[in-house]
Amino acid sequence: MNYSRNILVTGGAGFIGSHLIRLLVNKYPQYRIINLDKLTYAGNLRNLEDIEQMENYVFVKVDIIDKDRIKAIFQEYAVSDVIHLAAESHVDRSIEDPMEFVKTNVLGTVNLLQAAKENWNKDGNHIFHHVSTDEVYGSLGAEGYFEEVTPYDPRSPYSASKASSDHFVMAFYHTYGLPIKISNCSNNYGSHQFPEKLIPLMINNIVHKKPLPVYGKGENIRDWLWVVDHASAIDAIFHEGRIGESYNVGGLNEWTNIDLVRHLCRLMDKKLGRADGESEELITFVTDRSGHDLRYAIDAGKLESEIGWKPSIQFEEGLEKTVDWYLENESWIKQVTDGSYRGYYIQMYDNR
């Protein structure tokens, strides 16, 4: 089959990457989707079981730090485009061990940019879409929104590494004319998110009646977007966004952490047939995260006015779908946290 595009999606076995790959392989049979992933603790091929047999899908187990393997993949699969999601993504881990974040998020991104620059013809119809975060803009007070022109002000090792990668992506556009696009998204929630992040961690702890650790007073604010809507935004920006531009993606859906956790408790008390207020008793205020950003809020007006993208569902509906998925997929949580399922795939691909 002659594919019209050979799109390298990095980090496709992770949370957002797996939703994006599912969308792309189903919607675009004319494209070949090459999922490149190292399968860290956060990557799990079980996330893609439903599509792994599709003809236009390929998986390769590669570390983006490995520049020779990256170069080889570009040639072997005639890579025409990149949608780059592979990253160390958890802020708390970056506080513990910043160097892994520098390696994957900064050096890994530069390796991919170099490979694209070396392999792509200047007149070719290529796109390097870098998936980034709103955390590069720093922290807001009670008022205002992050816009694409907001100056970068990263404050955690994670956001510093993502900001650095964004700057390299823009530098390759300005210096070498590499056809890039960047999207900066707010907090995602949905199925298949590793249970170290706020929402799946709380769901799992509520199920098992474990303490619900709320950092500080729980007054920090995040803007939550359903992961399927983030995948549709990436699709829209990849196809319709302008080269050399960045686009903010968000849900206009701000919650303090404590309100969100209480809402989850009430929802899950109903689902689990518990007395009203039973799960709220599990809430435990713990030492705050160092340098904890107070508030993130996205102005996604550019994406809406230029491309017409909007979130498809309300938060309450998305959250209920998410809770239902975790309740129906307890074995997934068990397997990603004990590593057993991922281990099987690692062996299979290591032995190739």
- Return the residues of window 271-310 that contact ligand DAU according to CB under 6 A: 289, 296
Instruction: Indicate which of ligand DAU, ligand NAD, none lies near residue 254 (CB less than 5 to 8 Å, by partner kind).
Output: none
Q: Is 278 exposed, middle or buried (0-12, 13-18, 19+ CB in 10 A)?
A: middle
- Max Cα-Cα span within the chain: 64
Residue type, 99: M
Residue 135 is among the residues annotated as catalytic for this protein? yes
Instruction: Indicate which of ligand NAD, ligand DAU, none lies near residue 213 (CB less than 5 to 8 Å, by partner kind).
Output: ligand DAU
Instruction: Indicate which of ligand DAU, ligand NAD, none lies near residue 161 (CB less than 5 to 8 Å, by partner kind).
Output: none
Strand partners, 212: 283
Q: Is 299 exposed, middle or buried (0-12, 13-18, 19+ CB in 10 A)?
A: middle
Instruction: Indicate which of ligand DAU, ligand NAD, none lies near residue 63 (CB less than 5 to 8 Å, by partner kind).
Output: ligand NAD
295 binds ligand NAD (CB under 6 A): no
Local structure of residue 172 (DSSP, 8 states): H
Mark residues 76-95: x for contact with ligand DAU by CB under 6 A, - for none. Answer: -------------xxx----
Interface with ligand NAD (CB under 6 A), residue total 30
**What single string gives the DSSP state of each residue in 39-93?**
--TT--GGGGTTTTT-TTEEEEE--TT-HHHHHHHHHHTT--EEEE--S---HHH
Among the residue ranges 47-55, 129-137, 299-307, 308-316, the one whose residues contact ligand DAU (CB under 6 A): 129-137
Residue 158 is among the residues annotated as catalytic for this protein? yes
Of the pair 246, 279, the CB lying nearest ligand NAD is at: 246
Given a contact cutoff of 8 angstroms between Cβ atoms, the answer to whether 199 and 273 are in contact is no
Interface positions with ligand NAD (CB under 6 A):
10-11, 13-17, 37-40, 42-43, 63-65, 85-89, 104, 108, 131, 133, 162, 185, 187-188, 194
Cite the active site residues.
134-135, 158
